[in-house]
């Protein structure tokens, strides 16, 4: 079955960067885009962007350009998202999801990123 | 960006009751709409895609309908396990956008 295993929780300081991972299994990694989604506590979901693991091509929500950088390592079927210049407003759970024609049938368990001095 | 307006923000329903949640897009999304259920501390789960197609494994009491800019999710007989927050999402064009969510509770 499809699994997306994300890295562990992060506690970071304002101004720093963090890189979280999403290891895919159970399907052909290069056949589906990986989307990243942000959810602040008690809030709605925000789509950050997506990456095509086959080509490395990316699409970003304008709101997150300069904040998030998406990459993949095809050899390990792992997608990464780096978040830079962190502020308390970046405190959130970040999900990766397998995208299938605009929908997300499979999600990672989420990574809690806490930005605090 | 396509704006998704979801209503109501919250509702409570009795066991066996029929529940309907609405989602309006700011432009025609040509049935490019999905519905997700999220339970506390868990990842969202896809219920409906393409406005009306039921995701594998989802109970048949869930159904989706709509076209153009207006869409709805119906739960035909509310069960205890249906408590949670429901989100709509347009998957037509980047950036994908979500509704603000509907919190559904048992009355």
Task: Please write the tens of the pLDDT for every residue from A26-76.
Answer: 999 999 999 999 999 888 999 999 999 999 999 999 999 999 999 999 999
Q: Do B34 and A46 touch (CB under 8 A)?
A: no
Structural tokens at position B81:
């396990």
From the list B44, B55, B92, the residue facing A107 with the nearest CB is B44
Q: What's the pLDDT at A37? A: 98
Best B39, B56, B96 residue to mutate vs chain A (most A CBs within 10 Å): B96
Q: What's the pLDDT at A42? A: 85
**Nearest chain B residue (CA) to A110:** B43
**pLDDT per residue as tens digits for the range B21-59:** 999 999 999 999 999 999 999 999 999 999 999 999 999
Structural tokens at position B35:
């519905």
Confidence of residue A84 (pLDDT cuts 50, 70, 90): very high
CA distance A101 to chain B (A): 7
Q: Decide: A20 and A80 in contact? Cβ < 8 Å.
A: yes
Q: What's the pLDDT at B64? A: 98
Chains A & B: contacts with CB separation below 8 Å? 54
Average pLDDT over residues B14-20: 97
**Nearest chain B residue (CA) to A36:** B96
Q: Decide: B66 and B33 in contact? Cβ < 8 Å.
A: yes
């Amino acid at each position: 079955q499809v699994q997306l295993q994300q890295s562990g929780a992060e506690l970071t300081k304002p101004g720093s960067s963090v890189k979280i991972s999403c290891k895919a299994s159970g399907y052909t990694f290069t056949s589906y885009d990986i989307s990243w989604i942000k959810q602040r506590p008690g809030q709605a979901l925000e789509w950050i962007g997506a990456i095509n693991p086959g080509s490395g091509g990316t699409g970003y929500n304008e709101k997150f350009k300069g904040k998030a950088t998406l990459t993949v390592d095809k050899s390990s079927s792992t997608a990464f998202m780096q978040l830079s210049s962190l502020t308390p407003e970046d405190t959130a759970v970040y999900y990766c999801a397998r995208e299938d024609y605009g929908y997300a049938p499979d999600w990672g368990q989420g990574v809690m990123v806490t930005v605090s001095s | 960006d396509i704006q998704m307006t979801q209503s109501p923000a919250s509702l409570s329903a009795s066991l066996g009751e029929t529940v309907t949640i609405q989602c309006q897009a700011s432009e025609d999304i040509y049935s490019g709409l999905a519905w997700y259920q999220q339970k506390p501390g868990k990842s969202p789960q896809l219920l409906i895609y393409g406005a009306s197609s039921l995701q594998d494994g989802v109970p048949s009491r869930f159904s989706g309908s709509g076209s153009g800019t207006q869409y709805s999710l119906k739960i035909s007989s509310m069960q205890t396990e249906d408590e949670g927050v429901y989100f709509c999402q347009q998957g037509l064009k980047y950036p994908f956008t979500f509704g603000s969510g509907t919190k559904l509770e048992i009355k």
